[in-house]
Amino acid sequence: MFWITLILILLGSRRKTGFTPLGKVKKAAVVIDGDAPDAAETEKDIRRFFDARGIAVQVSKACKGKFIKVKRKVELFVSLLPENGWKNEYVSRRSRACFKAGRFPTKKETYDLVVSDPQGKHFPQREVWKTISGIIDKVK
């Protein structure tokens, strides 16, 4: 755990973040749970959403045992990972996006928007994406 923390300190972004309208977003990166049963449908929804707005998007699938590779130079970063582990912390902190959204608050308050599951419930990532996309679409 020490090495992961050290890497995050050295490679992490120090850029200030905040709510950013989609009109100012040219590139986005979204991390989804590639092992989830709704991964393919979620990816299609994400691509459809960004294509309709003329925004280039990179969708990365996080699978067990595989490292996640995400572009750093994007204006919007969204993590739909279902658990708040080191992978989530790593990709979110390393991203240089000016607007970040996710499912879990992190120790360093990395996300500007957090859409969490209610206590004791677990929603599929596709539903969480619909909620997040609905919110970021309204930011002016």
Burial of 121: CB neighbours in 10 Å, binned 0-12, 13-18, 19+: exposed
Task: Check residue 18 and give its pLDDT.
Answer: 58
Domain borders along the chain are: 12-138
12-138, what's its fold?
inorganic pyrophosphatase (n-terminal core) (3.90.1640)
Determine the Cα–Cα distance for residues 67 and 69; give it in Å rounded to an integer. Answer: 7
Residues 29-85: tens digit of each pLDDT: 999 999 999 999 999 999 999 999 999 999 999 888 777 778 878 999 999 988 777
When the pLDDT of each residue in the chain is averaged and rounded to a whole number, the result is 81
Determine the Cα–Cα distance for residues 14 and 7; give it in Å rounded to an integer. Answer: 14
What is the reported pTM? 0.82
* The pair of three-digit structure tokens given for residue 52, joined into one six-digit string: 């309709």
Alpha-helix residue ranges (DSSP H) falling in the chain = 2-11, 39-52, 86-94, 125-138
Contact between 50 and 29 under an 8 Å Cβ cutoff? The reply is: no
Determine the Cα–Cα distance for residues 99 and 81; give it in Å rounded to an integer. Answer: 17
